[in-house]
Amino acid sequence: MRLLSRIRTLFAPAPVPAAVPAEPAPDIELSAGGFAFGARAVHWSDVVRIRTYKIDFVDIDCVCVQFELRGGPAVEVTEESNGFNDFVDELAERFPSIDPGWYATVMSPAFARNEAVLFEKASG
């Protein structure tokens, strides 16, 4: 690498991390046919895709699970919510094709987004 390029790299502005949310994340409440997350209710049968990724909050990372739904806006659940561990267990039951090691995969390496699709409903 040339000297000028090295100097530019040293003085380049650092990427700005996402701001830590001021409000606590809503609780996740499981039901027979889905779950509620704050004011949103999701039916397992409406899920067409599940993605996971991490958000960098400088000192910590936050794992997120996003549900793309048939006929409605996506819902994002975070590990900061009460009930997340039980929710992850239920997710494995409802969607057995999800890799059991997905959480460890999204956690490493630290401070990287590590986005992955966990489930995608077959069209047809």
**What percent of the chain has a predicted confidence (pLDDT) above 70?**
81
Confidence of residue 34 (pLDDT cuts 50, 70, 90): very high
- Report yes or no on whether pTM surpasses 0.85: no
> Residues for the chain: how many in total?
124
pLDDT at 57 (0 to 100):
75
How far is residue 63's CA from residue 21's CA, in Å, rounded to a whole number?
A: 14
How far is residue 55's CA from residue 19's CA, in Å, rounded to a whole number?
A: 9
pLDDT at 22 (0 to 100):
57
pLDDT at 21 (0 to 100):
52
Ordered by start, the domain boundaries in the chain are: 17-120
